Amino acid sequence: MNDLASLVDWSRAQFALTAMYHWLFVPLTIGLSLIVAIMETLYVRTGETRWKGITKFWMTLFGINFACGVATGIILEFEFGTNWSNYSWFVGDIFGAPLAIEGLLAFFMEATFIAVMFFGWNKVSRGFHLASTWLVALGVSLSALWILIANAWMQNPVGMEFDPDQMRNVMDDFWAVAFNSVSMNKFFHAVTSGWVLAAVFVIGVSSWLLWKKSNVDAAKASMRIASWVGLAGILLVTWTGDGSAVEVARVQPMKLAAMEGLYQGECGQGLVGIGVLNPDKKPGDGQDPMLFSMEIPYGLSILANHDAQSFVPGIDDLIQGIELTPEGDTVRTVSYAERIEIGRKAQAALRAYGEAKAAGDADGMAKAAAEVKANYKYFGYGYFDSPEQGVPPVAMTFYAFRVMVMAGGYLLLLFIVMIFVSYRRTRLLEKRWLHWAGIISVPVVWICSQAGWIVAEVGRQPWVIQDVLPREAAISDISAGSVQTTFWIFAALFTLLLIAEISIMLRFIGQSRYTNIEQPKN
């Protein structure tokens, strides 16, 4: 059992390491592709050569980042087969379809037109080159779409049916998978957050150029565009985040409870604005979950259900299978203990199906298959020994959510200030404090982005597929030592890759002091 726990922990750690490094590059790629396309559009419309130079400058930084993102993304997909082979077998027909489409359609589009984007200057017409740049931006977003469709299906598995004959899930409705309500919110939330991250990156680099008094006009022009893109992005992130909260409340209520450190919910539930969790709190122990908190009255009920008087269940409520009506009456639902029993019935029926099949008992197979289908909704709970195993890491989810929200509020203020300064108080663009505000905001936006993914992925633990497959049942039959070894290898390689990217970018940005990006050579 200890070996299994070690294998699960190291497999999770390796996948988390790869995913978080990959997510350093992806949102910047998404956002920069849009900003570059906007800048080239200005060049084509105005004919001003300074916009061509500005476009080429940011396009080069986009290319450096794009290459690093591809490298980490390939490794990430291979890890499904190496470390999570049981998962890959169990849902490969479903999960693999969006990934295949991403590779055949979106990535092919990116790879085709990115060559024209970088090497087609003065070789193709301005219009065709601009179209290629926009198609790269579209391809990047389409790539994110199919990846997020696959991820959203893990959060809300739909469009599938379990086939006891194959002992695996098969897709029975492609469009239900593709237009999963969770995936649509997740896609727009992720893409617009990429706009925010890239906008802050452009503001940060432009602030550095202004601080060094290098390419001042180009830096100011870049900052204006980035500020508008960032403001649009942060407003859309807020809107899509609201939609995501409603979906989480609907399909992953335990995640929402962990995000709030909520153990016993109520009608008209408040939202914790600032709080410190009680580290000794356990489900059902009666202790106060908070050492300190400041709540927004009715905030969580509004966020989750758009109804100030609605009931939001807490961790204890979900474990016990309890809900409250607006009148305060208790309603019984399916408790976690009952879900465990139902899941074990489904698993026992699946074993009976296999035995009947081996014996050639058609009636036994039909009876067992019917019982599997009747109880499959809670199939994954049958792997639990106790209800408490279904509770995610509360502290990490709770604090990551607040880091994300507070950083997002700061970034909204940053974009408003930068737009105001760029148009109304241009003399402030020469102030050192403003330059430092822009530069310091670069790590803030990456922290915000990573915190968002921590909420999404840590919050759904212990599930690999919500309610269907926990992580202990999804891993490969390999040694924990081999995973541990590759973890440190990947940690070293990814760190070197990140250092190389930052070094190349800094060198390129530094050289811009001597390369007039406002009047480029043709």
Structural domain ending residue among the three candidates 362, 387, 412: 387
Question: How many Cβ atoms are within 10 Å of 167's Cβ, its own excluded?
Answer: 12
Same domain, 39 and 149: yes
Residue 434 inside a domain? The answer is: yes
Residue 290 inside a domain? The answer is: yes
Distance (Å, whole) CA 358 – CA 354: 6
Same domain, 54 and 185: yes
Please write down the HEC assignment for all residues of 197-211.
HHHHHHHHHHHHHHH
* Contact between residue 381 and residue 339 where contact means Cβ atoms under 8 Å apart: yes
Dihedral sign of CA atoms 470, 474, 479, 480 in order: negative
Mean pLDDT of 469-475: 89
Look up residue 329 and give its two tokens: 């009456």
Same domain, 199 and 279: no
Dihedral sign of CA atoms 462, 465, 466, 470 in order: negative
Residue 206 inside a domain? The answer is: yes
Residue 6 inside a domain? The answer is: no
DSSP state of 104: I
Same domain, 288 and 428: no
Residue 245 inside a domain? The answer is: yes
- Of 253, 244, 304, 265, nearest in space to 460 by CA: 253
| CB-count exposure of residue 78 (10 Å: 0-12, 13-18, 19+) | exposed
Same domain, 380 and 397: no
Residue 520: pLDDT band with limits 50, 70, 90:
very low
Mean pLDDT of 60-84: 84
Residue 417: pLDDT band with limits 50, 70, 90:
very high
Exposure class string for 391-411: b at 16+ Cβ within 10 A, else e: bbebebbbbbbbbbbebbeeb
pLDDT digits (tens, 9 = 90+) for 85-129: 888 888 877 888 888 888 777 777 877 888 899 888 888 989 999
- Of 70, 68, 77, 71, nearest in space to 99 by CA: 77
- Of 91, 238, 110, 240, nearest in space to 166 by CA: 91
Residue 131 inside a domain? The answer is: yes
SS3 content of the chain, % helix, strand, coil (to 5): 75, 5, 20
Residue 5 inside a domain? The answer is: no
Structural domain ending residue among the three candidates 313, 332, 351: 332
Does residue 292 surpass a pLDDT of 80? yes
Number of domains in the chain: 3
Residue 212 inside a domain? The answer is: yes
Same domain, 357 and 499: no
What's the pLDDT at 3? 67
Task: Name, in order, each residue with C-beta under 8 angstroms of 357's C-beta and a sequence gap of 6 or more.
Answer: 165, 365
Same domain, 232 and 299: no
Domain that holds residue 283: 256-332
What's the pLDDT at 2? 54
Structural domain ending residue among the three candidates 387, 406, 427: 387
Mean pLDDT of 503-522: 65
Does residue 68 surpass a pLDDT of 80? yes
* Contact between residue 113 and residue 132 where contact means Cβ atoms under 8 Å apart: yes
Distance (Å, whole) CA 403 – CA 219: 30
What's the pLDDT at 49? 87
* Contact between residue 188 and residue 20 where contact means Cβ atoms under 8 Å apart: no
Does residue 441 surpass a pLDDT of 70? yes
Does residue 521 surpass a pLDDT of 80? no
DSSP string for residues in 287-344? --SEEEEEEETTHHHHHHHS-TT-B---HHHHHHTEEE-TTS-EEE---HHHHHHHHH
The residue to which tokens 């908070």 are assigned? 290
Same domain, 163 and 242: yes
Phi, psi of 74 (to 5 degrees): -65, -45
Task: Name, in order, each residue with C-beta under 8 angstroms of 184's C-beta and a sequence gap of 6 or more.
Answer: none
Same domain, 241 and 120: yes
Same domain, 16 and 143: yes
- Distances from the Cα of 455 to the Cαs of 5, 41, 42, 245, in angstroms? 23, 37, 38, 11
Pairing of strands 330-332, 322-324: antiparallel
Look up residue 389 and give its two tokens: 């195993």
Q: Which amino acid is at 508?
A: F
Same domain, 309 and 224: no
What's the pLDDT at 6? 85
Same domain, 199 and 297: no
Q: Give ∠ CA 420-435-509 in degrees, rounded to 5.
A: 115
Q: Provide, rounded to the nearest whole percent, the portion of the chain with pLDDT above 70.
A: 96
